[in-house]
Chain A
Amino acid sequence: MERAGGTLPEVDGVNKDFFEGLANGKLLLQRCSECGSHQFYPKPWCVVCGSLDLEWTEASKEGKVYTYTIINRVIGNSKEFEKELPYAVGSVELEGGIRVYARLLAANPSSIRIGCRVVLEPRRLTDKVGLPYFRVVE
């Protein structure tokens, strides 16, 4: 679904707490009540032990950049993103070892390096949907 400024996720029963959490400033991950594994993206059961008993747990607000790219051209996505070019997206490694794709905010995207510290700064789209944005801190 397109929105002003980009593409909206499709909210469903498995992921709605994740998107709502970000709208409220929290990054929520699934945790298995049986084996304790964390997982992301949200899935209908624990991909480690197969338990259906999953709970939501808040992740730390800090992480580090595992890898990143600077988008130079918008291909196969909403043309609305062209206004923001160039911009950085990356994989943020959270404490505990889960990685989440996120938009990386930096005054100068070319200063981003693997290993940079980042702090959660979610982008609220509606009161039910937020997106994982992190700010790069020097």
Chain B
Amino acid sequence: MTDVHVSGYAVIPPSRARADRGEAVLTAEEYHARALSELLHSLGIGKKDLDGLSYALGINRTLWPHALIWSAEVAQNLGIAPKLTIISDHGGMSALGLLSQGYALIKSGMVDHVVLLGVDSPLTPSKPQGEYRLERTWRYELNYELPLGMIGPLSEAALIARRHMYEHGTTPEQLGLVAVSQRKNASKNPWAYLKQPLTIDEYLKSPYLAEPVRILDAVIPVNGGFALMLSSSDGAKRFTDKPVRIEGVETQVNSEPQNELRDITKLNIPSARLLERVGVGLNDIDFLELYDDFTVVVLMQLEALGFASEGGGRFVEKNSITYDGDLPVNTGGGQLSGGQAGTAGGFSLIVEAIQQLREEAGERQVKGTTRGLVTGLGCLGYNHNLINRGVALLSKP
């Protein structure tokens, strides 16, 4: 069976759609076209060459509604005819979900390549955002959270963070260290949205949205687009001499479904079974790209992966997690500083890992890196944490 490689990638810089600041104001459809254009350019091929390939197209379901039968519309807009389309509704796990499905399609021999277009434009809805909010959310949020005055992911993250403080003694300063470290990484990343330096004092002065979650504990929403080309081993050779190998992907949907007395501070990502299958240990991993919708979620993953048995908060106090630190985490600034392009936000973490492994990360390059671990987490469950969990190992071939 063939190996699966990432043979090309593209990033369209994030935007808050502030025309008054000269920022791009683009729809999801425009991001699809730009991301694909940039991807083809990086592969050194034109659209007609793509037409000659055996490939599938993968897209994420965006925050604001599109057609029920959407993937064929996207293909029609672009004038492309993939053998098959895959579409992810995994929220923050969308990028990992598509990577996983694309990996399986190539492994099976069904296609030679998979084009993944990860785009979202939460800041340019076609009608006022509030009008979509209640139509688009989970019935459990609509029925058992919103009538109480809860405010969606922010309030759910706050419930998790409060309990994390209780269980692990996590302090506001420790949460702040995640935000500050990632900002330092972002300052070296040309495509991060927030690059200006951040101090712990500034973090501690930032206002609460849902105490103990401050505005700087949460991602900054952006519009943005990403593209990845996955290829079989032979297929990748045609496009690049710097392929990145996907060593393996594991996902879990609706994790721990039956335990009403679960510890909501435990975020067991299926990394153990991935590491065992691939045959590598924690020491073989050079950097981490951890899904970061909120600062506390980064700490929970450091604990779950096995890096921080003393608690994630203590770990980030004792160890530097910047790109040049003891354990580099979210080397491009993650979504906290880089921006979260809606349900495509997870693509930014995969793209950052690819840039690191191709040694194209410029000033934030992790020295001597051969392997990175990427996670994707989505869907805040009722009285739970993020229940869709994906993890991938990427390496130099």
| Residues of A participating in the B interface, judged by any CB pair closer than 8 Å | 1, 6-10, 15, 37-41, 47-48, 66-78, 81, 84, 86-87, 89-91, 93, 97-103, 114, 131-132
A67 near B163: Cβ-Cβ < 8 Å: yes
B210 near A71: Cβ-Cβ < 8 Å: yes
Residues of chain B within 8 A (CB-CB) of A131 are: 147-148
Would you list the 3 A-B pairs with minimal beta carbon distance, nearest first?
A69-B158, A67-B163, A9-B143
Known pairs A6-B149, A9-B144, A10-B139; A90 contacts B159 (CB<8 A): yes
Binary CB contact string for chain B from 380 to 397 against chain A (1 if under 8 A, 0 otherwise): 001100000000000000
Residues of chain A within 8 A (CB-CB) of B139 are: 10
B144 near A89: Cβ-Cβ < 8 Å: no
Cβ-closest chain A residue relative to B207 = A72
Known pairs A9-B147, A41-B140, A90-B159; A70 contacts B258 (CB<8 A): no
B209 near A73: Cβ-Cβ < 8 Å: yes
B149 near A103: Cβ-Cβ < 8 Å: yes
A91 near B159: Cβ-Cβ < 8 Å: yes
Chain B nearest CB, measured from A126 CB (Å): 12
Among A8, A78, A89, A131, the most chain B Cβ lie within 10 Å of the Cβ of A89
Residues of chain B within 8 A (CB-CB) of A71 are: 149-151, 155, 210
Could you say which of A15, A38, A67 contacts B264, with CB atoms under 8 Å apart?
A67
Cβ-closest chain A residue relative to B213 = A69
Q: List 28 A-B contacts (CB under 8 A).
A: A1-B134, A7-B134, A7-B147, A9-B143, A9-B147, A41-B143, A47-B257, A48-B258, A67-B160, A67-B162, A68-B162, A69-B158, A69-B212, A70-B208, A71-B150, A71-B151, A73-B207, A76-B130, A77-B133, A77-B150, A89-B149, A90-B159, A91-B264, A98-B260, A99-B383, A102-B148, A103-B148, A103-B149
Binary CB contact string for chain B from 156 to 176 against chain A (1 if under 8 A, 0 otherwise): 001110110010000000000
Residues of chain B within 8 A (CB-CB) of A47 are: 257-258
Residues of chain B within 8 A (CB-CB) of A74 are: 149, 151
Residues of chain A within 8 A (CB-CB) of B155 are: 69, 71, 89
| Residues of B participating in the A interface, judged by any CB pair closer than 8 Å | 130, 133-134, 139-140, 142-152, 154-155, 158-160, 162-163, 166, 207-213, 257-258, 260-261, 264, 382-383
A69 near B166: Cβ-Cβ < 8 Å: no
Cβ-closest chain B residue relative to A73 = B209
Known pairs A9-B143, A10-B142; A72 contacts B210 (CB<8 A): yes
B148 near A72: Cβ-Cβ < 8 Å: no
B150 near A101: Cβ-Cβ < 8 Å: yes
B145 near A101: Cβ-Cβ < 8 Å: yes
Residues of chain A within 8 A (CB-CB) of B208 are: 70, 72-73
B151 near A99: Cβ-Cβ < 8 Å: no
Known pairs A38-B260, A97-B261, A99-B260; A114 contacts B149 (CB<8 A): no
A68 near B209: Cβ-Cβ < 8 Å: no
Could you say which of B140, B151, B160, B257 contacts A75, with CB atoms under 8 Å apart?
B151
Residues of chain B within 8 A (CB-CB) of A6 are: 146-147, 149
* A33 to B369 alpha-carbon distance, docked (Å): 56
* A101 to B152 alpha-carbon distance, docked (Å): 13
Cβ-closest chain B residue relative to A102 = B148
* A89 to B382 alpha-carbon distance, docked (Å): 14
Residues of chain A within 8 A (CB-CB) of B213 are: 69
* A23 to B382 alpha-carbon distance, docked (Å): 22
Query: Beyond the given A71-B155, A73-B209, A132-B148, could you list 19 further A-B residue pairs with CB under 8 A, ordered by the A residue number?
Result: A7-B142, A9-B143, A10-B142, A10-B143, A38-B260, A39-B260, A41-B144, A47-B258, A48-B258, A66-B163, A69-B155, A70-B211, A72-B209, A73-B151, A75-B152, A91-B159, A101-B144, A101-B382, A131-B148
